[in-house]
Amino acid sequence: GNGVQGGDRPEDPSKQNLAQVTASIQRTLGLLHQLNLNVSSFSSASQLPLLQRLNALVAELDTMQKLAEGCNIQVPMEVVNLIDDGKNPDEFTRDVLNSCIAKNQITKGKTDAFKSLRKHLLEELEEAFPEDIEAYRQIRATSAAESKRLAQSQNVLPNGDSNVKAEH
């Protein structure tokens, strides 16, 4: 079967190609299975089908090879090793995802720390220099509105905090 998911990606051609290669491999597997049956229960009558199947196998291998030429997907070595070791390559995917999440958490922590520092600083500064802070706030508000407008016009993917209110 076709296991392709989500076809809105710009790499559609390579997705198709991958699908074709996969299909070819599957067919090969089918052929091999049948061959196995043939050979293991060999009789004089099954000689012709055997030969047919062998030829079909060779043909399929050839097809596979041709299809593979258009395939330029990069596969991490870790995955290959995992498969060779008989493990599930999804472990790799899982590791990648986890590390990404962890990094994100770390950075979020730093972000939060900086935010609280900024808040604290502004509070203290407001006590000491109220007019200056007022001027600063106005400048920040205008520049934030400006950058928001720009981002929307460029259709940039918003980050998780895009619903934050105007800079205070």
Positions in the binding site for another protein (CB under 8 A)? 3-5, 9, 11, 18, 21-22, 25-26, 28-29, 32-33, 35-36, 39-40, 42, 54, 57-58, 61-62, 64-65, 67-80, 83-84, 89-90, 92-93, 95-97, 99-100, 102-104, 106-107, 110-111, 114
Give the Cα-Cα-Cα angle 129, 135, 140 (nearest 5 degrees). Answer: 120
User: Cα separation of 15 and 4, whole Å?
Assistant: 7
Shortest Cβ 134–another protein spacing (Å): 21
Nearer to another protein, 9 or 149 (CB): 9
Shortest Cβ 35–another protein spacing (Å): 5
Shortest Cβ 97–another protein spacing (Å): 6
Shortest Cβ 117–another protein spacing (Å): 8
Shortest Cβ 154–another protein spacing (Å): 17
Nearer to another protein, 79 or 122 (CB): 79
- Tokens read off for 122: 């502004």
Q: Are 64 and 26 in contact (CB under 8 A)?
A: no
User: Cα separation of 6 and 17, whole Å?
Assistant: 15
Q: Is 6 helix (H, G, I), strand (E, B) or coil?
A: coil
User: CA-based diameter of the chain, in Å?
Assistant: 102
Nearer to another protein, 11 or 146 (CB): 11
Give the Cα-Cα-Cα angle 22, 24, 29 (nearest 5 degrees). Answer: 95
